[in-house]
Amino acid sequence: MVAVLEDESERTETRMQAAAWLGDRGFGKAVQTMRSEVEPDRGPDLASMTPEEREEHERELKARLQELLTDDPEFWAGAPA
C-alpha cells in the first residue's frame, strides 16, 4: 500500500484509498456513533408484586437462564433454590 501511495503514476483516487487504508491500519478507524431511539426494557415492577408473584418470577428467570447458559441440568444442581 505504501508503494501505491508513493507511485505518482497511480490514479489519485487509488492513492487516496491507499492513504486511507494505511491510516486506518496505523491509527484505527474513527469511532462512529449512532443515535438510538429504543427505550430499555425495565422489566416488571417487583415492588408491586406479591411475594408469591416474585417467587414465580424468580423461578421463570432461573429457568430462562438455565436455557441460555447451559443444556446441562447438573450445572444448576447446586444452585440455591
Q: Is residue 24 part of a domain?
A: no
Q: pLDDT at position 14, please? A: 92
Averaged pLDDT score across all residues of the chain: 83
Which positions ≥6 away from 22 have C-beta within 8 Å?
Answer: 1, 2, 5
pLDDT digits (tens, 9 = 90+) for 60-81: 999 888 888 776 666 666 666 5
Which positions ≥6 away from 5 have C-beta within 8 Å?
Answer: 15, 18, 19, 22
Q: Is residue 63 part of a domain?
A: yes
Number of folded domains that form the chain: 1
Q: Is residue 59 part of a domain?
A: yes
pLDDT in tens, the chain (81 residues): 889 888 999 999 999 998 888 888 877 777 788 888 888 777 888 899 999 999 999 999 998 888 887 766 666 666 665
Q: Is residue 60 part of a domain?
A: yes
Q: Which domain holds residue 57?
A: 49-75
In Å, how far from its chain's centre is CA 35?
16
3-state secondary structure 44-55: CCHHHCCHHHHH
Q: Is residue 33 part of a domain?
A: no
